[in-house]
């Protein structure tokens, strides 16, 4: 065995969220290229790889086994915010943020990959992501909206409202920049095209696109998506 894997395995045994654990994680990654190359470090120990540059301002985060949390990921809890629960082998790529407020929680199923700079903001209602979901960069999930009264008060002063939580089924595929709004359920194996705004439920196995998103075809029709609508899976 080469020296580098021995080095990585030695230090990953001591990885953790304390001062020593973060130092051990830095040492384990010292000779490993950043970003997706460090995903393999998450497989060394069930504790996974949580970057020392991850920002955790949340007192109710549950990490599954072998998770990968990249540089600049933010886990944030606002007042009365619910838990964030990550299943086994979840990948959270850099500069994505996960925020819970009153009435909100975030659950992410096993084997789900979330690419850079995605936004999960769970207020009033939960966000539930299934197993094996692929989410491309710059996707956003908002299970709430600001009320719009008949007066001219600033929208930011309007109370929040929600049609219900967001539910993403197993094996769903979301293209770059997709936005999912409150009360939406996306069925198992569905595909959401790049730049889509999903405002209503998506059936299992459907391919949707547009703003607002509408059904383009069913996957049973054997359509092949253009490459630019396929999120890159880190491995």
Q: Domains in the chain: how many in total?
A: 2
Strands (E), 64-143: 68-69, 74-77, 84-86, 91-92, 97-100, 106-108, 113-114, 119-122, 127-129, 134-135, 140-142
Q: Which domain holds residue 10?
A: 1-47
Q: Are residues 31 and 91 in the same domain?
A: no
Q: Are residues 75 and 179 in the same domain?
A: yes
Q: Are residues 130 and 17 in the same domain?
A: no
Integer CA distances (angstroms), 62 to 40, 83, 118, in order: 21, 8, 19
Domain with residue 136: its CATH number is 2.160.10.10
Residue 16 lies in a domain: yes
- The answer on pLDDT for 235 being more than 70 is no
Residue 233 lies in a domain: no
Which residues partner with 98 through β-bridges?
Answer: 75, 120
Output the pLDDT for position 231.
47
Domain boundary among 29, 47, 65: 47
- The answer on pLDDT for 230 being more than 80 is no
Q: Give per-residue pLDDT as tens, 12-47.
A: 999 999 999 999 999 999 999 999 999 999 999 999
Q: Are residues 34 and 137 in the same domain?
A: no
Residue 3 lies in a domain: yes
Q: Give per-residue pLDDT as tens, 185-222.
A: 999 999 999 999 999 999 999 999 999 999 999 998 85
Residue 228 lies in a domain: no
Q: Give per-residue pLDDT as tens, 90-112.
A: 999 999 999 999 999 999 999 99
Residues known to be catalytic:
146
Q: How far separated are the first and last CA of the chain, in Å rounded?
A: 22
Whole-prediction pTM value?
Answer: 0.89
Residue 101 lies in a domain: yes
């Amino acid at each position: 065995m080469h020296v580098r894997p021995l080095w990585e395995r030695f230090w990953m045994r001591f990885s953790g969220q304390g001062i020593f654990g973060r130092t051990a994680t830095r040492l384990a990654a010292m000779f490993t290229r950043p970003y997706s190359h460090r995903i393999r470090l998450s497989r060394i120990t069930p504790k996974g790889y949580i970057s020392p540059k991850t920002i955790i301002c949340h007192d109710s985060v549950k990490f599954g086994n072998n998770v990968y949390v990249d540089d600049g990921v933010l886990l944030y809890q606002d007042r009365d915010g619910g838990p964030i629960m990550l299943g086994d082998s979840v990948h959270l790529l850099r500069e994505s943020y996960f925020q819970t407020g009153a009435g909100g929680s975030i659950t992410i199923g096993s084997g789900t990959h979330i690419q850079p700079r995605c936004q999960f903001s769970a207020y009033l209602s939960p966000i539930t992501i299934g197993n094996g979901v692929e989410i491309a960069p710059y996707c956003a999930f908002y299970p709430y909206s600001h009320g719009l009264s008949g007066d001219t008060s600033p929208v930011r002063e309007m109370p929040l409202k929600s049609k219900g939580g967001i539910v993403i089924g197993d094996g769903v595929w979301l293209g770059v920049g997709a936005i999912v709004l409150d009360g939406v359920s996306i069925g198992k194996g569905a595909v959401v095209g790049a730049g889509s705004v999903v405002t209503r439920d998506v059936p299992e196995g459907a391919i949707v696109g547009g703003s607002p998103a509408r059904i383009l075809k069913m996957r049973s029709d054997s359509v092949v998506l253009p490459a630019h609508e396929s999120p890159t899976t880190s491995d």
